[in-house]
């Protein structure tokens, strides 16, 4: 009786292993791609898995591969690798492996995978929109801009958040793009610091401004950050002494013409009414 119970348990365990063992291969991940803004770096792919899972492995070029601790046998199609890509100047690749779901086994020796393109956080992350403040000189011909560094998803050894100036240092410049309000012509002014001055502006004109990070060391096509929101200077109402004599004379002539026209029209109307009465 005791021996029969043992045989029953062995058969049950064998059946459990049989039902939890997956045979054959799994579909490979498709559309594996990187997305990164201000060093918040995600790897994404498709399709959503059915009866299998995904595991993400990554490595810097020439180094051993590691598994992301947050993306092992997952049913998700996105993996946050921000904290794993610790050396932001290294170039990385990632593999998305197709594996059994948790608790199941497989007769495969190696699992199918799809490899990503190369990715370097320092050169490939998109720099987001900065904010900025500005002041206008009394004569209205100079605008002083102060750019605010966008924050990043990175932290230093003391676990303090870093902004893009902390990360890029002297590699980071800022560029202002500006135009006279109502005009499509654009001008640019670049500064190695967070302060930009726009000079020799037309007095009495309003200007619209946008700023962006500018990192020449990242190479052609990657040096520009995202453009900020547009901010425009306001034009103060002019006192009469600020207008030229020609403008003042023209205004007087126009006013006189309007007054004379009104008088003439009034006189003509009055005479017509008198004739109609007679």
If asked whether residues 7 and 47 sit together in one domain, one would say yes
* Last residue within a domain, chosen from 212, 232, 252: 232
If asked whether residues 222 and 191 sit together in one domain, one would say yes
Sequence-distant (6+) residues with CB within 8 A of 278 are none
Determine, yes or no, domain membership for 244: no
Q: Give me the residue label for tokens 């102060």.
A: 146
Determine, yes or no, domain membership for 268: no
Determine, yes or no, domain membership for 110: yes
Instruction: Kindly indicate the confidence band of residue 250, based on its pLDDT and cuts at 50, 70 and 90.
Output: low
Determine, yes or no, domain membership for 275: no
Sequence-distant (6+) residues with CB within 8 A of 105 are 17, 20, 21, 22
* Last residue within a domain, chosen from 98, 124, 150: 124
Q: What is the domain-level CATH number for residue 195?
A: 2.60.40.10
The DSSP line for 118-175 is PB-HHHHSBP---EEEEEE-TTSS-EEEEEEPPEEEEE-TTS-EEEHHHHHGGG-EEE
* Last residue within a domain, chosen from 124, 145, 174: 124
Sequence-distant (6+) residues with CB within 8 A of 225 are 126, 127, 128, 129, 130, 212, 213, 214, 215
If asked whether residues 100 and 158 sit together in one domain, one would say no
Higher pLDDT pick, 20 / 28: 28
If asked whether residues 103 and 136 sit together in one domain, one would say no
If asked whether residues 138 and 25 sit together in one domain, one would say no
pLDDT over 50 (residue 15): no
pLDDT of residue 184: 85
pLDDT over 50 (residue 235): yes
If asked whether residues 6 and 115 sit together in one domain, one would say yes
Q: Which of 18, 28, 29 is nearest to 107 (CA)?
A: 18
Centroid of chain to Cα 225: 8
Q: Give me the residue label for tokens 């497989």.
A: 106
pLDDT over 60 (residue 6): no
Instruction: Kindly indicate the confidence band of residue 210, based on its pLDDT and cuts at 50, 70 and 90.
Output: very high
Helices (H) and strands (E) in the chain, counts: 4, 18
Tens digits of residue pLDDT in 62-87: 999 999 999 999 999 999 999 999 99
Counting the structural domains of the chain, the total is 2
Determine, yes or no, domain membership for 228: yes
Higher pLDDT pick, 263 / 212: 212
If asked whether residues 100 and 148 sit together in one domain, one would say no
Query: Domain span at residue 71?
Result: 2-124
Q: Which of 192, 208, 212, 236 is nearest to 143 (CA)?
A: 208
Determine, yes or no, domain membership for 177: yes
Tens digits of residue pLDDT in 140-181: 999 999 999 999 999 999 999 999 999 999 999 999 999 999
Determine, yes or no, domain membership for 261: no
From residue 3, alpha-carbon distances to 6, 8, 9, 16, 30 in Å are: 5, 9, 10, 20, 52
pLDDT over 80 (residue 55): yes
pTM of the model: 0.74
Tens digits of residue pLDDT in 99-115: 999 988 888 889 999 99
Determine, yes or no, domain membership for 59: yes
């Amino acid at each position: 009786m005791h021996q029969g119970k043992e045989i029953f348990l062995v058969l049950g365990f064998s059946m459990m292993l049989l039902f939890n063992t997956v045979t054959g291969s799994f579909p490979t991940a498709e559309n594996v791609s990187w997305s990164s803004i201000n060093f918040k770096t995600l790897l994404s792919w498709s399709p959503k898995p059915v009866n299998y899972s995904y595991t993400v492995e990554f490595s810097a070029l020439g180094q051993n591969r590691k598994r992301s601790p947050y993306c092992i046998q997952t049913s998700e199609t996105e993996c946050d690798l921000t904290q794993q890509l610790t050396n932001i100047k290294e170039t990385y690749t990632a593999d998305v492996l197709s594996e059994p779901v948790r608790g199941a086994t497989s007769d495969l020796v190696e699992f199918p995978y799809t490899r990503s393109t190369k990715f370097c956080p320092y050169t490939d992350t998109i720099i987001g929109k900065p904010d900025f403040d500005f002041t206008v000189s009394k004569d209205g011909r100079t605008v002083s801009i102060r750019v605010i560094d966008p924050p990043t998803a990175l932290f230093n050894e003391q676990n303090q958040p870093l902004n893009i100036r902390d990360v890029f240092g002297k590699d980071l410049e800022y560029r202002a793009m500006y135009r006279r309000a109502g005009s499509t012509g654009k001008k640019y002014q670049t500064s190695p610091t967070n302060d930009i001055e726009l000079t020799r502006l037309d007095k009495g004109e309003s200007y619209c401004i946008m700023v962006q990070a500018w990192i020449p060391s990242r190479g052609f096509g990657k040096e520009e950050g995202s453009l900020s929101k547009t901010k425009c200077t306001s034009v103060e109402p002019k006192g009469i002494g600020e207008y030229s004599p020609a403008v003042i004379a023209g205004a007087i002539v126009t006013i006189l013409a309007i007054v004379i026209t009104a008088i003439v029209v009034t006189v003509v109307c009055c005479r017509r009414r008198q004739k109609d009465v007679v």
